[in-house]
Amino acid sequence: MSKSILITGASSGFGRDTAETLAHAGHQVFASMRDVTGRNRSHADALQARGIHVIELDVTDEISVERGVASVLDKVEHLDVLINNAGIGSAGISEAFTTEQLRALFDVNVFGVQRMLRAVLPTFRQQGHGLVINIGSILGRVTFPFFGLYGASKFAIEALTDSYRYELSKLGIEVVLIQPSNYPTNIFASAQRPSDTARSQGYGEIGAIPDKMVETLMALFKGDNAPNPHDVAEAIAQVVEKPNGKRPARLVVGQSFGADAINAQAVSIQAQLLEGLGLGQLTEA
């Protein structure tokens, strides 16, 4: 059955591929991005040529979020799915990132998700149904040195997603977390790098490791055995297609680096925790 779907950060990467994949499957897709008449105009035009609606929306701007969501709701009888995909990367010596850089990272990766949820959930609650898909990362479960600040933002999404899943479980709204592994997208090429380079120099040889890690990843991504980022779009499409009550709470896509094992352990621990709090009913839809 065709669904109305809003996805953030759809100009490129997972977002763009997911928008095109879902539209090809027959869904009504609203692909949101910043600056649709400027730097993202070519991306917007390409999506529109495929019959995909393009929405101007900046997840770091409350007014832009409210306006963008309102414009979608004006065009549909009901909104079925919200995909929180917009995000930025970060790689380098953690100490060398300024507080302002960390704030900018969380503004997109965490606060942006909260802004979108606050804008969409009143409609989902009024409808009595809806699906939220948050794009996390395996780095929200396991930690790679020098990617810790990015990972911190994705660890936050883990907690945010679980809490919303519990709180919405009796209102007909499902919340799913997708945990992609390393894939060749723009997130590495455009990732934040530390602006306080003097701090990095203080780490000596260790300070050179982040660049080497990024170089290794970029070389891997250009190889014959590079992981296919379309895996993520396909996984999201499968989650959308599943009937209510049959969707996983979270799903690793690609090499897990142990994230799947942590997921498995967390299920029983969380269930016991909620039972101990007298809130076991919130673990079931």
Whether pLDDT at 186 is above 80: no
Whether pLDDT at 78 is above 80: yes
H helix intervals, 169-285: 186-189, 197-201, 209-222, 230-241, 259-276
Among 14-23, 77-86, 148-157, 222-231, the range scoring the smallest mean pLDDT is 222-231
Sign of CA dihedral 21, 22, 28, 31: negative
Q: Residue 68 belongs to what domain range?
A: 4-283
Whether pLDDT at 185 is above 80: no
pLDDT digits 0-9 by tens, 3-41: 999 999 999 999 999 999 999 999 999 999 999 999 999
Give catalytic status of residue 203 as yes or no: no
In this structure, what CATH number is given to the domain that contains residue 143?
3.40.50.720
178: Cβ–Cβ under 8 A, 6 or more apart, which residues?
Answer: 133, 134, 135, 136, 232, 235, 236, 239, 250, 251, 253
Task: Please tell me the total count of domains within the chain.
Answer: 1
Sign of CA dihedral 229, 235, 241, 245: negative
What is the pLDDT at residue 223?
Answer: 75
Confidence (pTM): 0.95
pLDDT digits 0-9 by tens, 132-149: 999 999 999 999 999 999
- Tell which residue, 53, 197, 191, has the closest CA to residue 109: 191
Residue of 150, 164, 166, 183 marked catalytic = 150
